[in-house]
A and B are shown apart, each in its own frame.
Chain A
């Protein structure tokens, strides 16, 4: 009991539970706010009332989503102090003010202008309103930026020295622009865009399928498709880049993700396993099916490039292989599925199917778009599992172990707060789905079509 559910394990589970639920909301906040800026600009430019109706409709969903995102995120910030006090003290010199900047630059901007955006339609000029919406969008993206800078730094902590249990910054720029940062920031930001595109596209597809305001939602559907043409392949490229960065800076993480135990001997390439049964106890795979030379090719861009095996790292420095191996494959698989869906849709567009009369009959295409909504969220969640479990057993990579970073509080106390979160957050999720469903079923108030 003590070893299984000590304060460290419980604090980790608590952080994982709150983080996995919390992140569901901000991704949509970041992407949907950009979509709202686009719709509002189109309205101001064309004067077409339907764009205004789009703004009003998606804003309802946005507001519900935003509010839950904000309040569910408050525990994230405070848990660093309550449950990860030694980490806060050790890494606070850098990590702390990143969170501070996030709040001051991004969060405040977002929250203040949200009021103007939602309540201010009749109180400010149209241009000022567009400005407010843009500030909400800017705030969302800036907030993602700072959080990802902070998280990347935990993956690849550079820019200082670790002395007497505390990280002392020597170069702030090196810490901000740590090796993982460009990939962490871009991959997550584009993930926000991609999830939001599929939410807009998927919900529009649902209305079109039901033949409710088909022409109206064809507008948003087409915008989602056009944006997805850029975003879906871009995300695959960024994922590839992140993988190469992990290979260079977190080799144990890469080996674990790939269930790659033995360093491939010179002249022989490492395979990319598609499916495997990793056995960490015996440090091998019980069985595996893979593409020969695939891994070497992917991360070293040569047929036989050497890739360090996990066995080269002591057992105490290895992350758990099985969850990483599968979480990563679910994420990548969905990334490609979404890409194929986009190609399929383009093909349908070329055949002239994207009209209010013909699109409702293309049922499988529309079903796929609806199905893509949960899938895109799943890809984002499994991506985070890969990123965070892959960092284990470190909280600050190669500097501070997770097991040394949790606050010494009685397990019963952490257990109680964990239990409360474990009831509260799923309940929030269910209520959110219920109210979102009500907004969706009610539909938009439209001036036309």
Chain B
């Protein structure tokens, strides 16, 4: 028990990481699908594309709410500081989420579905870019002193975060295309293979740049990569991510249906772990003064322990019923499945 007790913040970092990854992969695909729907040829096709996420986008988006709540609970300082420092991108993300969510539902009831499906696409784009800028803002470092953000409200707007935002955009488009490859057939699927190929190439290029810039910014990352044996643990993740990229290209060429999506999830998983391990023990990097560490940002030991007990029961339950639901709705999307009417 002693080992668990002293490492509660790290355990929670891992759990929060899991929530973040689940959200980024599942809703990232939904957002990508939303962006791709803007490029659909007609409204029927747009309906099919949106229909592919009809029964799942609610729960995927809920992982963000879950992530927010658990982050607030386990790392209140991180939550308060991060969200206030990134006020503008976070609020833009929220506006985008609201806009996108209602558009999906209004489309169902409207006589002008085309208007609402465009709103859905634009909303998805706003959410994606906002998340990209928020991530860029965090990776670029936040000036936090004595638990209060001291930087500028527009500090997140810089060339580095633009690059990250572009990377997130390409990444979500890649995820969305791979999801459509899995869920559709015919012309939409054929086009999604091509889109995924292009988006994957762009994502690969940008993520290499992001990794390099981040390493250049934070000397501790370079230090870890040059000290043995630590370097082995950390370097293995970018290597695995690169391997997933190779497999993704191979599976796209071979016109596999599920494999591209799985490789894509692997890319996100391994890049995330690699970056987090490189940053550790910092949770909020800071280029001006000292960073906020994982332990400093965490809630009290009691709270973390209690949350861990509750979560260790809840999370498996959530995963079981989520899995069950995916089984109910497995298979290719059809026009009927979208409308929610009698099939």
Residues of chain A touching chain B, judged by Cβ–Cβ distance below 8 Å, are: 63-64, 67-68, 70-75, 77-78, 80-89, 91-105, 107-109, 111-116, 118-124, 135, 168-169, 172, 407-410, 413, 417, 420, 424, 428, 431, 435, 438-439
Contact = CB atoms under 8 A, between A and B. Distances in A.
A74 B300 contact: no
Contact of A78 (B83, B99, B303, B306): B83
Contacts of B325: 112-113, 115-116
B185 interface: no
A88 B108 CA distance: 38
A410 B302 CA distance: 36
Contact of A96 (B79, B91, B97): B79
Interface of B: 54-56, 58-59, 61-66, 68-74, 76-77, 79-84, 87-88, 90-91, 94-95, 97-102, 104-106, 108-110, 147-149, 153, 299-300, 302-303, 306-307, 310-311, 314-315, 318, 321-322, 325, 328-329, 337, 340, 342-343
A114 B88 CA distance: 32
Contacts of A89: 76-77, 80-81, 147
21 contacts: A68-B105, A71-B101, A71-B102, A78-B83, A88-B72, A89-B147, A100-B66, A100-B71, A100-B72, A102-B69, A104-B315, A104-B318, A107-B65, A108-B318, A111-B59, A112-B59, A116-B328, A118-B340, A168-B300, A417-B87, A435-B106
Contacts of B109: 64, 435, 438-439
A424 B340 contact: no
A93 B76 contact: yes
Contacts of A70: 58, 61-62, 101
Nearest to B302: A169
Q: Which 9 A-B pairs have the closest CB atoms?
A: A92-B76, A81-B83, A97-B73, A71-B101, A100-B69, A96-B72, A96-B73, A88-B80, A85-B80
A417 B92 CA distance: 9
Interface of A is mostly: helix
B80 A93 contact: no
Which of B54, B80, B97, B106 has the most chain A CB atoms inside 10 A of its CB? B80
Contact of B303 (A84, A104, A116, A169): A169
Contacts of B73: 92, 96-101
A74 B100 CA distance: 12
Contact of A409 (B66, B87, B100): B87
B78 to A, nearest CB: 9
Contact of A93 (B59, B83, B95, B300): B300
Given A100-B69, A100-B73, A103-B68, 18 more contacts: A67-B104, A74-B97, A81-B83, A82-B87, A91-B76, A96-B73, A96-B299, A97-B74, A100-B70, A107-B62, A111-B62, A112-B58, A113-B325, A115-B59, A124-B328, A408-B148, A428-B102, A439-B109
A160 B74 CA distance: 17
B61 to A, nearest CB: 8
Contact of A114 (B58, B70, B303, B322): B58
Which of A73, A89, A417 has the most chain B CB atoms inside 10 A of its CB? A89
Nearest to A432: B102
Given A70-B101, A88-B79, A417-B91, A78 B68 contact: yes
Contact of B329 (A75, A84, A101, A119): A119
A98 B97 CA distance: 23
A85 B82 CA distance: 9
A74 B76 contact: no
